[in-house]
Amino acid sequence: MDIKDFIAKLVAVPGVSGYEERIARVISEAFNSYCQEVRTDAFFNVFGRKTDGHGENMPKVMVAAHMDEIGLMVTHIDEKGFIRFTNIGGVDPRILPGQEVEIHGKKKLFGVIGAKPPHLQQAEDAKKAVEMKDMAIDAGLSAEHAKELINIGDIITFVSPLVELKGGMVSAKSLDDRAGVAVLLETMKELDKLRFCADVYFVATVQEEVGVRGAAISTYRIAPDIGIAIDVTHGDTPDASRDETFAMNKGPVIAVGPNMHPRLTQKVMDTAKEYGIDYMVEVEPGPTGTDARAIQISRYGVPTVLIEIPLRYMHTTVETLNLDNIRKAARLLARFIASLKEDWNQWLNY
């Protein structure tokens, strides 16, 4: 399965933070084709172990990308059958009016988040964004029927399948961070072409969007020598500062800052230069909003690297990225892992 088809499969499966069981099964099945051992824990973090070689000082490397997505949850069904909801993760209320959704009740139900037509709005209404508490989902059901099929606490996901744009670009919901999971799979494929001396754990983590919880659990369990987080960062758009966004066609982004180990990060950059892999650099002066934050401070501390894919329109239903950046990130990761020799820990120490 190629990258585009794999991502299309991933974004079609619901996996709101805390409710990742279904997407975990899909990822586990994919990992099974390339890893010697695959397991899933009680929280649905998926671990794929891949090793080649039996060096005396073989490093344990954890490469993580989160599988969970932002979404909604049912809070109330009113007397007319309209379904009230709240958010799970960072949902921007401004994108909600007009969205198509699926309610995962006793059976999957299609619904729409309607909006008052401009013809019926007061002049002052048109100048304000509608608050989430004032929105509702219309599934075309009576209150009685809705309550038979839907429970308070049922999750709601957005309907936004993968679409192919020009120039190698694709758009869909939850590319943050199903694209990172695709990087994991592509890195496994790249490692099959190389000789390496490392014990590599590929981890699709849960609940990143609500506090990097899956990464904290997984890192504590694995106790890696080196941690690598794969996530997305902001791609360039006309309305955003160039200082805060990155080109869509110049490779992955390598983050620098106190959350990342300086020498380890430099080693990744040196590897990119050695193999002619394009990359950009992002300055992160504080804790990042990624799994790297949890990986770094697990147990007695893990030297950590953060590699990111430029993504436009983050936390919307039309997240957009360039598939070539996924290929480049995977190629870089595999060659970095292959560069680790028995003296790997010498260049980590000052």
User: Predicted confidence band at 56 (pLDDT cuts at 50, 70, 90)?
Assistant: low
Tallying the residues shown for the chain, one arrives at 350
* pTM of the predicted protein model: 0.95
CB-based contact 102:110 (threshold 8 Å): yes
Does position 13 have pLDDT exceeding 90, yes or no?
A: yes
Tokens of 298: 């697990």
The pLDDT tens digits for 98-107 are 999 999 999 9
The pLDDT tens digits for 194-229 are 999 899 999 999 999 999 999 999 999 999 999 999
CATH fold of 3-69+173-348 reads Aminopeptidase (3.40.630)
| Measured distance CA(15)–CA(93) in Å, rounded | 20
User: Predicted confidence band at 125 (pLDDT cuts at 50, 70, 90)?
Assistant: low
Is 282 catalytic? The answer is no
For the structural domain made of 71-158, what CATH number should be given? 2.40.30.40
Q: Is 162 helix (H, G, I), strand (E, B) or coil?
A: coil
Tokens of 64: 């993580």
Q: Which of 20, 208, 209, 308 is catalytic?
A: 208
For range 229-255, the mean pLDDT: 93
What is the rounded end-to-end Cα distance, in angstroms, of the chain? 43
- Token pair 């100048």 is found at 127
Q: Where are the domains of the chain?
A: 3-69+173-348, 71-158
For range 297-324, the mean pLDDT: 97
User: Predicted confidence band at 292 (pLDDT cuts at 50, 70, 90)?
Assistant: very high
Give CA angle at 316 (313, 322), nearest 5°: 45
Report the helix count and the strand count for the chain, using DSSP H and E: 8, 17
